[in-house]
Chain A
Amino acid sequence: MTAVVEISGLEVSYEADALPRRVVLRGLDLTVEAGDFMALLGPNGSGKTTLLRAIAGTLRRDAGSVALFGRDLDAWSRVALARRVAVLPQSLVLPDGFRVSELVEMGRAPHATRWFGSSAEDAEAVERALADADALDLAERHADELSGGERQRVLVAMALAQQPELLLLDEPTLHLDIAHQASLLATVGRLRARRGLTVIAVLHDLNLAAAYAPRIAVLGAGRVAADGEPEAVLRPDLVREAFGVAVDEARTADGRRFLVPHAGSVVRNEPSARDGRITG
Chain B
Amino acid sequence: MRAGVAPRPLVRGPALTRAALVLGAGGALLLAALVVGIGLGSVSIAPDDVLRVLGHRLLGIGAPSGVSDAVETIVIDLRLPRVLGAMVVGAGLACAGTVFQAILRNPMADPYIIGTAAGASLGATIGIVLPLIVPALAIGAGSAWLGLGVVQLLAFGGGVGTVLIVIAIARSGGRLPSVTLLLTGYAVSSLLAAGVALLMFASGRALAAIFSWLMGSLAAVSWIDLAIAAPVVLGVFVALFARWRSLNLLLLGDGPAAHLGLDVGREKLRLTMLATLATSAAVAISGTIGFVGLVVPHLLRLAVGPDHRLLLPASVLLGAALLVMADLGARLAGGIPVGVVTAVVGAPFFLWLLRRSRRVSAPNSA
Cα-based distance from A136 to B9 in the complex (angstroms): 10
How many of B's residues come within 8 Å of A, CB to CB? 41
Stretch touching chain B among A113-121, A204-212, A234-242: A113-121
Interface string of A123-139 (1 = CB under 8 A from B): 10011001100101101
**A122 close to B262 (CB less than 8 A):** no
**A83 close to B261 (CB less than 8 A):** yes
Cα-based distance from A185 to B360 in the complex (angstroms): 32
Q: Which residues of B contact A105 (CB under 8 A)?
A: 11
**A118 close to B11 (CB less than 8 A):** yes
Given A92-B252, A127-B10, check contact A183 B262 (CB 8 Å). Answer: no
Stretch touching chain A among B90-98, B300-308, B317-325: B300-308
Chain A interface size, as a band, is: 35 or more
**A123 close to B11 (CB less than 8 A):** yes
**B261 close to A82 (CB less than 8 A):** yes
Q: Tell me the smallest distance from the CB of B262 to a CB of chain A, in Å.
A: 7
Chain B residue with Cβ nearest A60: B173
Q: Tell me the smallest distance from the CB of B256 to a CB of chain A, in Å.
A: 5
Q: Which residues of A contact B306 (CB under 8 A)?
A: 95-98
Answer yes or no: B251 CB below 8 A from chain A CBs: yes
Answer yes or no: B362 CB below 8 A from chain A CBs: yes
**B238-295: which have CB < 8 Å to A?**
242, 244-245, 248-249, 251-253, 255-256, 258-263
**A78 close to B256 (CB less than 8 A):** no
Q: Tell me the smallest distance from the CB of A136 to a CB of chain B, in Å.
A: 5
Cα-based distance from A134 to B6 in the complex (angstroms): 11
Given A87-B259, A112-B245, check contact A98 B305 (CB 8 Å). Answer: yes
Give 17 pairs: A residue, B residue, CB < 8 Å, sorted on A: A83-B261, A87-B255, A87-B256, A89-B256, A92-B252, A92-B255, A97-B305, A98-B305, A98-B306, A102-B307, A109-B260, A110-B261, A117-B13, A118-B11, A137-B2, A137-B4, A140-B6
Spell out A's residues near B (CB within 8 Å): 56, 58, 60, 78-79, 81-83, 85-87, 89, 92-98, 101-102, 105-107, 109-110, 112, 115-118, 122-123, 126-127, 130-131, 134, 136-137, 139-140, 142, 144, 162, 183, 187
Spell out B's residues near A (CB within 8 Å): 1-2, 4-6, 8-14, 173, 242, 244-245, 248-249, 251-253, 255-256, 258-263, 301, 305-307, 309, 359-360, 362-366
